[in-house]
Structure formats: structure tokens, C-alpha cells
Structure 1
Amino acid sequence: MGDTREPFDDLFEPIEGEPAPAPAPQVQMVPCPSCGTMNAANSRHCISCGARVAQGPLPMAPQPLVRSTAGSRALIVTAAVIAVVVVIALFYNAFVSDDEPTVTTAANGTGATTTSTAAGNGGTVPTDTVELTANRVVPSAQLSGFPADNLIDSDPLTMWQVGQEGVGATLTFFFPNPVALERIEIKNISDETKFRQNFRVRGIRIRPNDTTRDTVVELANTRDVQPIAIQTEGTTTVRVEVTSTFPAEAVGDQNPFKELAIEDIKFFGSVVSGG
């Protein structure tokens, strides 16, 4: 029998020595733990029931950005405000405190010391000073027969009186030469009955004309001399303002008065050289 191959068959004869194609890789199969269906090992979920097949960790969503709450924002704002207040307070103390009033508690004549917030004042009553005499005093008001000049006449039997309980009344003392004051002494009425029947000075504000710093004083309710520590460098006038009073009292069958009374106001220090 003759050769029945077509002429073109020779063209497609397998070439000797050519490697055979590699077999397709075998996919490992694993049963679904829920329904038993075989699934590829790299499948995450069963193709039949949808149950989870792979046990590897699931992808994690990124953590959300931390957002501040209303409470935390309020806390931040409060802290910022406190910081600003502290800075302002430090600035105020450093540059403005010289204009603040000096707050002083006067001694009551029983050996108590004077206390004061003024820098350099020390809060003690100086003893190595001389009495300085004001040559004039101008009151905001006075009663007839009880002029303010009685305060500087060194007479314990005279006094200054002002009506309407005295609150708001002022006294301005004038010195012929500049003086460096170290203390002021205030004396209520010596007579006990008159002392009780009249209003007495409780709070006063003292301002020399060589400083913008006031000395605010709280006096005791006593007939004793009350010294007040004060420091000036060259003042020629001192203004004293009554800011509060002790109330008058009835004595026996005698009614209280509505007037404020002071017996003496004295100044101690030294005359400024070259003044």
C-alpha cells in the first residue's frame, strides 16, 4: 500500500528533542468548615455557603483621626485664657504696681506694730524723727466752733468736727517746705463720753502730692494715739480722706451725735535739704 500522508504532514512532524509543555499547577483544595464544599486553599469564603474558609487575619481598616471633643476644646481655651491672665498680672506687677495704694493697719497704741504692703516701708513705725508742723489745713467741711485748724494747734481740748457722719470728708495739710514723711499720728477725742457719742474715723486714704500711691488705712476704735507708717521724699501737701467711720453710741441717757470728731493729726519726718 502506498504512502497516504499528505505532502504537508511532513511540515508538522514533531521536532525531536523539544521539551513537552509543563503540566498545569495543581490547586490545593480545602473543605469548607461549614458545608464541606471543596474550595481553593487561597479562597477566603466558601463558593457555596459564603462561610469563611481562610483563617488568615482580615485586613484592618485604618484608625480614624482623633477628633477633639467640645470638652477638650473648652479645656484648651481655658488654659490659654489662664496663661494670658498670668502674663498680664506679671506685667502689671512689674510696671504698674507703683500706682497701687499702700494698705496699712495702724498700731493701736498698745505696742502692736504697723503692717504695710508698701515696698521699703517695712511696716514699722520709725522713732528717730522730728515733728513737722503743717502751717495750714483746708477741710472739705467743718462745724462752726470746731474748725480744722484745731487739728494742728497741739491743744488736746480742741477738735475738728464735721457733720453727716464724716464719710467722704477731706483734709488737705500744707507744709512751708518739702518734707520727707515717715509717719502720721491720729488722735481721737480723749474724753471717753465724747469719744463714744461722736462718730470716729475707721478708714482713711492718705495721698501726699509727691506720689500717686495712696496709703489706705484701717484704724482701731480707740482713744489711743494711732501711728501710721508712710514714706514720702519731698511732699508739700497731704490729703486725708475719711472712707468709713465707727458709729456713735448713746451714753446713759445722752443720745449719740451725728458728727465725726478728731482731736489731733500730727506729722513726723524731716525737712528735705535744699527744699
Structure 2
Amino acid sequence: MDRDTPNDPFEDLFEPFELDEGPPPGVEPPPPVARREVQHQSPATRQPPSTVSCPSCAASNPSTNRHCESCGARIQSSPLPVAPPPAARMTPGGRALGVLLGVLVVVFIGSRFIGGGDPAAATTTTSSTSSTTQPLTLSLIQPATATASSELPGDFGASNLIDGDRTREWQSAGDEGVGAEITFVWTDPVAISEIRIYNIVDETRFKRNFRIKDFSITVNDIALETSGTLTNTNDEQRISIATLKTTELKLKVLSTYPAEAVGTATPYNEIAIAEVEFYGRVATP
């Protein structure tokens, strides 16, 4: 049969065509399309799925399973919800205390209304006992005797220091008084708290004699030395001291204020002290 003779009625519906051998002259062919190579992982490089053991039968199961494939036991469980803390309950003692406080408040308010008056006007009377400490009374406790390591001949002995007469004084024997030592003795032990020293009252004679400046005091009952400096004045000067049972006290002159000329009157070469008084109490046996 001739191939060019159409025998099939369907062939009349299509026109024959031929593929072109290439692009028209003068037209460049399109660039080739790049192909993406898909790399397949070998079975050796694939990561095995993670597994988990069944807590009941120890069978291995995928980690995504919630139940064992062998025994059906539950493998994974969600955390249980946390229950809220129990509400605080009031104990019988707490309830009783609350009731008591409520009753007290009601009674307090009722008493204010019944009694009348402003609550701010209510006063509270308290009694207190106060004790007043009486100051220690110091008494004059003059020694029985007074002697000096240096005395000016005549009526200038150390006994003038304890005779109560400030117009009579002790004077040293012309040595300016430095290093002179006066010893006071008591018949009965005394506790001395204060010493008072008086220079010559007369201003002219006060200046013309040397005056005591630095001094030291020692007693025979305790190992205590008291030292200090007097001022250059004829006013009363006080020295604090604390002894217990003293029967002998020594006053030593360490330095002096220099004597001065008054007008045409020349200065003396002696130290002079008018009076020394001791205050305290007789020591208890």
C-alpha cells in the first residue's frame, strides 16, 4: 500500500510537520541549561533514628513512640500538673485570738463613748522613785606636824604652813627653793581628796620671793606620784588627789617662778608659801 495515500480518516485531521535541523542562519543557539546533580547519601552516612527502651520489657522503640511496640506499655508520660498550695487555715488558737482582739476593740470603743470626753484628754498617772546621790562632803584634815628640808632661820619654819594664818609663811634658806621638800604627818590615817595651796597675800612680798611652779607629791600608803604646775598667782590653787590611808605626805619643789624687784626693793633669794590645807576624811579602820 502506498504510504502517501491516506487511508485513515484521522490522518486528515493533522498536518504533517518536520523538525528543523537547527536555528535559522545568523541566530545563536540558546545556552545549555545547567543541571543540578542530586547527591544521595549512602546508607552508611545516614543517622540512625534515636531509640528509647521500654521501662517494662526493655524492648527498643523509636523515640517518637508513646507506647511500646512489643508490650504496649506506656513509654513517655507528660509531667503531672502541679497542684496549687493548700489555702492557709486558721488554727483554733488563731481564731480564739482574733475573737479576743475583736472583743477588746469593741470594749475599748464602748468605754470611750460611755465615759464621754475626748480620748486625747485622758491622762495617765505614773509614780516614779528617784534617788538623789548626795555629794561627798570634804572636811579639813590638817596634819599634826610639818617639817621642811630647808628653812630660813627665825619665824619662817614649815609649821607656819598648817597654823591657819596666811600672814605667816614658810621660806627656804636662801636657795631659791628648788629641790626643797616638805613632809606632812598625821596621827591617824586619812583619805585625802584635795590639797589647797596659798601663796603670800601681800602683793609686794609675793613678787619679791620665789614662788612654787612645778611640784610632785608622794604618799606612804599607795605607790602613787602626783605632779603638776601651779600658776603664778597668790589666789587659792587646788590639787586633786586620791589616797586611802595616808599618814605621811611629801611635797617637793621641782621648779620656781623667779623673784622680782618691786620699785627700789630688790628681790629675795628664798621661796615662800603661806598655807597648805588638806581636805578629805578620816580613813575607816
Aligned to 1:58: none
The secondary structure found in structure 1 opposite 2:244 is: coil
Corresponding position of 1:139: 148
Partner AA of 1:132 in structure 2:
I
Match of 2:175 among 161, 164, 170: 164
Q: Contact 2:166 / 2:198 at 8 angstroms: preserved in 1? A: no
TM-score, length-scaled by structure 2 = 0.51
Aligned to 2:5: none
Structure 1: distance between partners of 2:145 and 2:254: 22
Number of positions where the alignment pairs a residue of Structure 1 with one of Structure 2: 149
Partner of 2:260: 249
Counterpart amino acid of 2:149? S
Is residue 165 of structure 2 the alignment partner of residue 155 of structure 1? Answer: yes
Match of 1:186 in 2: 197
Question: Residue 235 in 1 paired to residue 246 in 2?
Answer: yes
- Partners in 2 of 1:248 and 1:138 — Cα distance? 24
Partner of 1:117: none
5+ unaligned residues in a row in structure 2: which ranges?
1-134
Residues 193/136 of structure 1: CA separation in 2 closer, same or farther (3 Å cut): same
Instruction: Give the number of the structure whose residues are more often strand, by fraction.
Output: 1
The runs of 5 or more residues in structure 1 that have no matched partner are 1-125
Question: Aligned-pair distance for 1:141?
Answer: 1.2
Judging changes above 3 Å, is the alpha-carbon distance between structure 1 residues 225 and 233 closer, same or farther for their aligned structure 2 residues?
same
Classify the secondary structure of the residue corresponding to 2:242.
coil
CA RMSD of aligned residues (A): 1.1
Which residue in the other structure is 1:195 paired with? Answer: 206
Q: Which of residues 226, 234, 241 is equivalent to 1:223?
A: 234
Q: Partner letter of residue 209 of structure 2?
A: N
Identical amino acids, percent of aligned pairs: 43
CA gap of 1:203–1:127, structure 2 versus 1, over 3 A, is farther
Shift of residue 127, structure 1, vs aligned partner? 7.0
Instruction: Work out the CA distance in 1 between the residues paired with 2:147 and 2:256.
Output: 20
Distance 1:184 1:127, change over 3 A: farther
Q: Structure 1 segments of 4 or more deviating over 6 A?
A: none
User: What's the CA shift for 1:128?
Assistant: 2.4
The structure with more radius of gyration: 2
Query: Which residue number corresponds to residue 117 of structure 2?
Result: none
TM-superposed CA distance for 1:185, in Å, is 0.4
